[in-house]
Amino acid sequence: MQLPLIPRGMHARAWPPVLATRGPGGPCAWHSHHSLRFALALEGEVRIRTTRLGKWSSAPGVLTAPDAAHVLDAQGAQLLLVFLDPESITGAPFRDALNGPVRLISDGERKAMTSDVVPQTILRAGAAAWARKAADALRLRAPAAPRSVHPRVRALLSLLKNGGIGHATSLEGLARAVGLSPSRLMHVFTTSVGIPLRPYLAWLRVQRAAIEIVSGNPLSDAALAAGFSDAAHMSRTFRRMLGIPPSLLRAMKCSV
């Protein structure tokens, strides 16, 4: 699989709480993750089983609910995987498509969501466009338009992107850096970006760590560069948010 790169030079904009990858699927063990996740076979079907469904179901694609235990069998299929934070303005509308742990995606819906799509496009300037395309395919309300960003939040985003996030562990320190109280920063950040500050930082760390890993850096170095306390902390966060260990990105790096 190939993981997209985080774009450079986007210092006044929030990076979307989205990750996308494309490549060969396979069987996996029971797991859950806090992200909403689309698993879309580019051809053929995938199989999924949840504790509620009990038996295997097959479809061209699936959307799994946050924190829902499931097992996905995509052996022999090329997949487009898109992870979205369920509390973000990009991800929230897709919760409406779920009335259980999984939503099966039809062939027509799959084609609409995978046509002319590459992960780099989704993560770079195309996350909002892909989300609108997916919402339209599922007959959902479109994700909200980007919000007006508070000047102090814009300054914080610039600080995080220019200086990295290795020291972004203290809410008090971040608030002091942009001249706000911690409570005020949390309020204006959520209003501006559409996701609370702490989960946004977690997404930012996962994105940064992914780039370090697929660039060939050791897991311990990737964890340090992304602001995790150590590789074990990074691994726990990956499993909680994405349902995969960071070491799996090694294989994604090597295949197209």
DSSP per residue over 185-247, as a string?
HHHHHHHHHSS-HHHHHHHHHHHHHHHHHHTT--HHHHHHHTT-SSHHHHHHHHHHHHSS-GG
Higher-pLDDT residue of 105 and 241 is 105
Intrachain domains 18-137 and 151-254 with the same fold: no
Region 131-157 average pLDDT: 84
Whole-model pTM: value is: 0.71
C-alpha 228/C-alpha 234 separation (Å) is 6
Q: Name the pLDDT band for 13 (thresholds 50, 70, 90).
A: very low
Predicted confidence (pLDDT) at residue 14 exceeds the cutoff of 70: no
83, 35 Cβ separation under 8 angstroms:
yes
Would the pLDDT of 146 be above 70? no
Structure token digits, residue 28: 């996996």
230 vs 232: CA distance, rounded Å: 5
Describe the strand order of the beta sheet including 78-84 as a list of residue ranges: 18-24, 78-84, 36-41, 61-64, 102-105
For position 226, what pLDDT does the model report?
A: 85
Please tell me what DSSP assigns to residue 31.
Answer: B
151-254 topology per CATH: Arc Repressor Mutant, subunit A (1.10.10)
Q: Which fold has domain 18-137?
A: Jelly Rolls (2.60.120)
Sequence spans of domains, the chain: 18-137, 151-254
Q: Are 104 and 41 in contact (CB under 8 A)?
A: no
92-96: long-range pairs with CB below 8 Å, 24+: 92/143, 92/144, 93/131, 93/135, 93/140, 93/141, 93/142, 93/143, 93/144, 94/36, 94/63, 94/134, 94/135, 94/138, 94/140, 95/36, 95/65, 95/66, 96/140, 96/141
Q: Rounded mean pLDDT of the chain?
A: 80
Cα–Cα distances (Å) from 76 to 40, 41, 70, 92, 217, in that order, read 13, 10, 19, 31, 29
The band of 255, judged by pLDDT with boundaries at 50, 70 and 90, is very low
Give residue 10's pLDDT band: very low, low, confident or very high (50, 70, 90): very low
Indicate if the pLDDT at residue 195 is higher than 50: yes
Reported as a pLDDT band with limits 50, 70 and 90, residue 49 is very high
**CA-to-CA separations, 252 to 2, 119, 207, 236, in angstroms, rounded:** 5, 13, 14, 19
Unique residue bearing structure tokens 């780099």: 120
Query: Amino acid letter at 52?
Result: R
